[in-house]
Amino acid sequence: MAPPLHRMSFDTRKTLILRVRNPDDADGWRDFYGLYEPLIKRFFQSRGLQEADADDIVQNVLQRVAKAAPYFEYDPAKGKFRSWLFTIARNELNRHFGKVMRRPASTSQPEVISNLVSADEAELRKSWETEYRQHLFQWACKRVRPETSDQAWKAFWGTAVDEKSATDVAAELDTTVGAIYIAKSRVIDKLRECIETVSGEWDLLDS
């Protein structure tokens, strides 16, 4: 079920992050795994890791998150959740690389993992940031789209994603430019609120 799209309090927006602090919240952990496991796996696979290697690292990352979650204090002023998750993923990649080097006869790809470990930190963080934003955007779109009229969604998609002018989209939809801006703004608000329910972050749709 998609999260509610009404205006939510600050604490409610961080519901999923706060829920995984409780190891007994099976539903919370299922939702967390369902959202973040594909992102982390795709991030490693897109850089050349075989599926088996990516699966191993992802499971280690999620186990680390599970151990750290009870002590995780969400404070945007001290750092973003996505940065915290990236750091854990990066550390687990380094650990995996160490294991590969100690088991040269394994089926892993030491040269690929070595390239990842030695990759420029700024570049790797930038790639993570991009994929994180895209993943949560696509996830939110799947939940907001059924709650949005065709007209409003086309207004949003045409201007925000396809980057058409409001004038052109208004002509296509036989409406006013003002109506296009209003529809776009409302859809973005819904997407932002949807994302905030799982990430607690405000800026994923900015820029």
Residue range 77-86: mean pLDDT, rounded: 79
Q: What is the mean pLDDT of the chain?
A: 80
In the predicted model, is pLDDT for residue 1 greater than 70? no
pLDDT, position 6: 30
Give the integer Cα–Cα distance in Å for 191 and 27.
22
Please state whether the predicted TM-score (pTM) of the whole model is above 0.85.
no
CB 92 within 8 A of CB 61: yes
User: For 23-72, what is each residue's pLDDT tens digit?
Assistant: 788 888 888 888 899 999 998 888 778 888 889 889 999 888 888 877 77
* 105 CB-near residues (< 8 Å, 6+ apart): none
pLDDT tens-digit series, residues 101-153: 666 555 556 666 666 666 677 888 888 989 999 999 999 999 999 999 999 99
